[in-house]
Amino acid sequence: MLKRPFFMVAALAVFSSFLLTAPADSTPKRFSIFPFPLVYYTPETRLAYGVAATMTFRFRRDTIPAVRPSQVTVGAAYTQNRQTLFYVPFQIFYDQNRYYVNGEVGYYKYSYFFFGLAQREVPRELYSVNFPRIRVNAFRRVADRGVWKNLYAGVRYQYEEFDVTQTEPAGLLSSGEVPGGLGSRLSGAGAGLFFDTRDNIFYPSKGVVVDLTYLLNNWKSKAVVGQGFSDSRANRFGRYVLDVASYHKLTDRAILAVNYIVSMSDGSAPFNALSLLGGTKRMRGYYEGRFRDWNVAVLQAEGRFTLWRRLGAVVFGSVGVLGNNTELIRFADPKGAYGAGLRVRINRDRLNIRADYGFGRQSNGLYLTIGEAF
């Protein structure tokens, strides 16, 4: 649960950016950059501080504004608990939108709370982990004109070495009963389809985006916390994800955004690679990974409103259900969340600073970041 100092810093950061950022007109630039300080507080990190910068750009051979803007964010932070975060998420459009590449490269030395798996919930356990993460999705447009001009097909790859360095001695993770609970190394490759008719990738007012993913993953587990991968046996699981978002312009100052997500797994998966609820993008109001299971289905809706110039507001709600190999989806046990937030536009491509406060069942949290949840 996030504390009051984080809320005060977040509110100050949003208000300061609103005052200091130059007014944005309707003409996109070929290149823009927005640097900003990172200052926040959570029980897991205590005081955290760092810097980040978000760049939006278009290649010289691409025309403006027909080509969608590419975006790369670089961020680094350090905490009082000696935790380190370095991350570079990116999405790149090239050659008149013919090629689309997105993903993330990062390294994290962090702490999380573990709440159990599926229907087996436990009192929260704090554990520490170091992990590099690489995720790359490379797509090519199927056709340059006609009905298929908005459809992309391509390949996906991910790698993550989840090095658990500390667990609570009497906890479920330290018992060795949780797959990957003492650490895991995962690599996976697969294919995907991507369909996109949005009028703007950062703040759409109409259109739909469909992301269909299949990944075949291999992973190895650790036998002892802090040691190498002594278990030579490789486990395997498949992951299927359908993520759909649609956008509907209600008035000149109001937009309805709706998001549908279905994520399913088969085979043996480590706990950190299971489908989950919570976090900045999926069911705000719950701690990331508050609920984990093999299958997840989520419905989210958000009303987005323009208040004054570059200042906006949102209200949102969501419901999610989970399931496993024996119970595909447990519709009788839904999880709900709701909340509201503010938006400040920071460039001419309608990229926003996002400050949301969400509420779940006996849970709440503040989210301060760049870009929309979906």
Sign of CA dihedral 316, 74, 102, 235: negative
DSSP secondary structure code for residue 174 in this structure: G
Q: Which structure tokens are listed for 337?
A: 């969340």
Return the pLDDT at 135. 97
Strands 151-166 and 120-141: antiparallel
Residue ranges in the chain whose pLDDT is less than 50: 1-24, 43
Cα gap 53→216, rounded to integer Å: 33
pTM (predicted TM-score): 0.84
The pLDDT tens digits of the residues spanning 118-154 come to: 888 888 899 999 999 999 999 999 998 888 899 999 9
Does the domain spanning 4-370 belong to CATH 2.40.160.50?
yes
Q: Where are the domains of the chain?
A: 4-370
Q: How is 266-315 classified by DSSP, letter by letter?
A: EE---GGGSEEE-SSSSSTTS-TTSEEESEEEEEEEEEEEEEETTEEEEE
Whole-number pLDDT of residue 44: 54
Distances (CA, A) of 73 to 26, 69, 89, 205, 348: 23, 13, 6, 23, 17
Predicted local confidence at residue 73, as pLDDT: 92
pLDDT of residue 46: 67
CA dist 264 and 231 (Å) reads 26
pLDDT in tens, 273-330: 999 999 889 999 998 889 999 999 999 999 999 999 999 999 999 999 999 988 999 9
pLDDT at 215: 96
The whole-number pLDDT of residue 92 equals: 96
Burial code (b: 16+ CB inside 10 Å, e: under 16) for 311-344 equals ebebebbbebbbbbeebebbeeeebebbbbbbbb
